[in-house]
Structure 1
């Protein structure tokens, strides 16, 4: 008698015979956990550990995996490696590619995980998940993960100027606030540490009750001024290096993009440098990818009859996103007759003058896409005013 179970086809295993050795790497300071899946071994994965940062030991482990696969299958197999983007940067990825190994860097936030409140997480489970993700990616499954577009060393190095300037600017603000706080506790207001006469003005200050500044408070403020002046000098040096990069960079593409951006009113040297180093060096297929990279893509929620918008995802480059918000406010000030500025004004007017902050985020997305089209395709923004030559 034939039963229902006899009629059902036997479950098939996941296809792993893709003609390669699939390897995932879990990186840490002390050790690297290597999880591998060899051809002819079914779905069984093996794990090995090598000292952290030891590329020679890693290559030896890869050679051992290839030798094992050759003995098992009778031929050579290439190695395909995946690792998560993290604090190690891209030097391991470049070292693997230099050895002729196909390497992929994945955005860890893009990998699907269990939605249980408490999910198990170990190096073993993470390594196996990465290998299965790599298998699905190589099989061509859509939306299985988001691979990171690794910059070359020159592109990565250009980012340092804008990022260091932001750090130095934060330190400058901290020194200014600390000096003002020390003086305010003595009843002194109106002192500006960023003015050139800051040291002369300090000698003239009196406390709120008419006394000269106490000796130790004055000494502390002077030491803060020493550190502040060092930061100011470093900011000037960084800005000079940034200006030289925008005009005399060895990469003609970056210099051309910067010169086009600087022709638009409302975009200065810092905004052009951030756009070139953080965004416009990357190839994008469409405007959705541009908005998603900046973390300005919408996040819909739709289930049955329920459909609402959750706002922007913010799953992107935070430096680019904050810069675009600042450029959007500047765009409204310097380009009030452009089509984008008129769209913003009409949008806010329909809401009775409210919801300016959500509208500025939408304007930032539109402005970034418009600037991308302007630089890559030469599409001039409608109504935009250029600087005089």
Structure 2
């Protein structure tokens, strides 16, 4: 069996050619370019192409499928792919180990989304980055005035009714004296803030159009307290709902299950693992807090778990986030609509 293991890099990739019959391997450094890799793969015979999951594995997987090559994209979070006790780690060692683990069938395959879903997921992440930059700029503007004891409008009105005052304080940096350099900084911050807001509007418009034409997003939005942004994060992260066999699997994928340490009679549960998509986990927890105002079963679950103790409120919010994810996954898997009556306990009294 001829196995080709590729340790993908940003500019160069290390390729290991492994022959399972002779147990011999050779390595070659190649450019991480589509055309170059296509030439390499077309001129060799391979029974399996294996690579680790990373940013570049998507297009490499598509290229291998296009050439009709059997491909395995593996998860590097498994125990077989740990480098805790080694004293040397190189790209060559990584590629050789990847090939040998594939031969021993010790690698767990991971899901590779379609190119459309990868692009959709990328746009959702891009929106999150723009929102983060928007918040950074606003905080920087506030700090300019706070550091000089100048009061400005508080809250969201700073950027609406209070914008006129900000415009009066700005000044081109080239025209500022040494004592007025902060006005030049303010001018550049406001300019960038306007640019970010314009870009954010374009992204929101495109995402809104995609969401309206995607029945999966519309189905998840049926859940009380779940808006378009959270629904997009769920749909793009889950992709194919049938790839998860249970609610625990999808919860573990999002990193919303507790860590476990078990030895002998000791069985201790810790904090959540926080493995998997950070954006999905962040959006779910934010949605959980917001859903307490709109969703009755979320409020009931939240109050039941924290039991009136302040120290358990964050744990309760995470539990609600997990339930929202599991509910959305079940709806996507079964293609069913949201039914809140099935979530609340039956309080009717028997006749």
TM over 0.5: yes
* Structure 1 residue ranges without an equivalent (≥5): 1-19, 67-77, 138-143, 206-213, 249-254
Inter-CA distance 217–353: structure 2 relative to 1 (3 Å threshold): closer
Q: Equivalent residue for 1:332?
A: 292
Q: Equivalent residue for 2:204?
A: 239
Among residues 309, 312, 320, which one is paired with 2:280 in the alignment?
320
Distance 2:121 2:83 in 1: 36
Q: Equivalent residue for 2:21?
A: 40
Question: Which structure 2 residues correspond to residues 1-389 of structure 1 after superposition, within 5 A?
Answer: 20-41=1-22, 43-53=23-33, 54-59=36-41, 63=44, 66=45, 78-113=46-81, 117-137=85-105, 144-191=106-153, 194-202=158-166, 215-248=180-213, 255-283=214-242, 284-335=244-295, 337-338=296-297, 340-349=298-307, 352-377=309-334, 378=336, 380-382=339-341
* CA deviation string 1:139-173 (max 9, x = no partner): xxxxx433221111111111122211111111111
* CA deviation string 1:238-288 (max 9, x = no partner): 11111111113xxxxxx2122222233311121122122222444322212
* CA deviation string 1:211-259 (max 9, x = no partner): xxx65433432232111111112112211111111113xxxxxx21222
Q: Contact 1:85 / 1:106 at 8 angstroms: preserved in 2?
A: yes
Q: Contact 1:32 / 1:49 at 8 angstroms: preserved in 2?
A: yes
Inter-CA distance 185–305: structure 2 relative to 1 (3 Å threshold): same
Distance 1:226 1:352 in 2: 46
Inter-CA distance 113–120: structure 2 relative to 1 (3 Å threshold): farther
How many aligned residue pairs are there? 329
Q: CA deviation at 1:381?
A: 4.3
Q: Contact 1:51 / 1:57 at 8 angstroms: preserved in 2?
A: no
Distance 1:123 1:269 in 2: 41
Q: CA deviation at 1:204?
A: 6.2
Q: CA deviation at 1:184?
A: 1.6
* Structure 2 residue ranges without an equivalent (≥5): 170-178, 345-351
Q: CA deviation at 1:198?
A: 4.2
- Which has more radius of gyration? 1
Inter-CA distance 353–114: structure 2 relative to 1 (3 Å threshold): closer
Q: Contact 1:264 / 1:384 at 8 angstroms: preserved in 2?
A: no
Deviates more, 1:154-163 or 1:189-198: 189-198
Q: Contact 1:30 / 1:52 at 8 angstroms: preserved in 2?
A: yes
Q: CA deviation at 1:355?
A: 1.4
Deviates more, 1:282-291 or 1:95-104: 282-291
RMSD: 2.6
Q: CA deviation at 1:199?
A: 4.1
Inter-CA distance 118–270: structure 2 relative to 1 (3 Å threshold): same
Q: CA deviation at 1:106?
A: 1.3
- The secondary structure found in structure 2 opposite 1:363 is helix
* CA deviation string 1:28-82 (max 9, x = no partner): 34533222222531x232323333322144225x52xx3xxxxxxxxxxx52011
TM-score by length of 2: 0.84
